[in-house]
Amino acid sequence: TETAYRAWLQYVEKTVEHFTGRVGYYEIWNEPEGGWTWRPAPDPAEYARFCIETAQAISKADRTARIITGSHYQDSMEFFDAEFSRGTVDVSDAVSYHSYQYDERMSMQRVRALRGLLTYYGSNAEIIQGESGSQSRSDGCGALRGGAWTPLRQAKQCVRHAIADLIIDVEFTSYF
């Protein structure tokens, strides 16, 4: 509802005020192109409005805060393009993507595509890899479930992904 939406913006503003000086980055929503996180259904126009107004609430409370949008898990650039065309790049200091891939070269291609899309929209936003990783056991659950994972394979994947992110100039990397 509109009442709940306004309450969200007030909550964001008060949260940022509370953490000013201690938290420098604020990422707006996780995986908005997934039906499990955005109800009733993923909508880039709705997400763009949400990002823009949430970013304004963050900036109102702390002008030095850095705003991260995106947090997309899909390899396709369609959702990024749809939200960028509605102005999220104008409020984004950084754009985040998730990289659950067996082969880090796929992530490298994705970052190149994302960088090209940001350039198309005239944005200098940094690119952040916000989630990646794998299980340490073959019976784990999650994005890469079903693989023949072991602690050694997990460690090797972590190192390969980190090196790939360094090569393609990702601002920072997260690993589960």
Q: What is the pLDDT of residues 159-170, one digit of tens each?
A: 999 999 999 999
Measuring CA to CA, how many Å separate 79 from each of 11, 82, 101, 115, 152?
26, 5, 19, 14, 35
> Partners of 127 in the beta sheet?
95
At 152, is the pLDDT very low, low, confident or very high (cuts 50, 70, 90)?
very high
| Residue-wise pLDDT tens digits, 95-151 | 999 999 888 999 999 999 999 999 999 999 999 999 998 888 888 788 888 889 999
Q: What percent of the chain has pLDDT over 90?
A: 82
pLDDT of residue 153: 92
Helix (H, G, I), strand (E, B) or coil at 75: coil
The token pair at 49 is 């409005």
CA atoms lying within 13 Å on the CB side of residue 21: 2
Structure tokens at 73: 């898990």
What is the reported pLDDT for 109? 95
Other C-beta atoms lying within 10 Å of the C-beta of residue 59: 16
**Which pLDDT value is given to residue 61?**
98
Q: For 7-17, what is the mean pLDDT?
A: 98
Distance CA 169, CA 142 (A): 27
Burial 126-165 (b: 16+ CB within 10 A, else e): bbbbbbbbbbeeeeeeeebeeeebeeeebeebbeebbebb
User: What integer best gives the mean pLDDT of the chain?
Assistant: 94
What confidence score (pLDDT) does residue 81 get? 97
DSSP code, position 14: H
Q: Rounded to the nearest 5 degrees, what angle is found at the Cα of 44, between the Cα atoms of 106 and 165?
A: 25
Please state, in angstroms and rounded to a whole number, the distance separating the CA atoms of residues 156 and 128: 21
What is the predicted pLDDT for the residue at 108? 94
- Condensed to tens digits (0 to 9), the pLDDT of residues 39-52 reads 899 999 999 999 99
Per-residue pLDDT, 47: 96
